[in-house]
Amino acid sequence: MCLAIPLRIIEIKGNTAVGEANGVKREIRVDFIKNPKIGDYVIVHAGFAIEKLAEQQALDDLEAWEEVLNA
């Protein structure tokens, strides 16, 4: 089973992007995402963005992760 935290794309260069969540940045590939844009939230598996998320869903997921970390 894989667990993923939504990352917000903050930089794009070709098929490579930088995603950020809670101040942590990670280089990711965006080959599988249609028209990636800065500000999009994505789920990443094995370094590849595999799905876009609606902003509210991503924010709700991040809030749930924060609750788990603070438990």
Q: Is residue 60 part of a domain?
A: yes
**Domain housing 37:** 7-70
Task: Give the CATH number of the domain where residue 29 resides.
Answer: 2.30.30.140
Q: Is residue 55 part of a domain?
A: yes
Asked if residue 38 is part of any domain, the answer here is: yes
The strand pair at 16-21 and 24-29 is best described as antiparallel
Q: What's the number of domains the chain is made of?
A: 1
Q: Is 5 helix (H, G, I), strand (E, B) or coil?
A: coil
In a domain, 2, yes or no: no
pTM of full prediction above 0.85: yes
Q: For position 51, what pLDDT does the model report?
A: 95
Condensed to tens digits (0 to 9), the pLDDT of residues 22-55 reads 899 999 999 999 999 999 999 998 899 999 999 9
Tokens (6 digits) for 43: 């789920």
Residues whose CB falls within 8 Å of the CB of residue 14, separated by 6 or more in sequence, listed in order: none
The stretch 3-30 carries a mean pLDDT of 94
Residue 2 pLDDT grade (very low, low, confident, very high; cuts 50, 70, 90): low
pLDDT of residue 1: 54
42 inside domain: yes
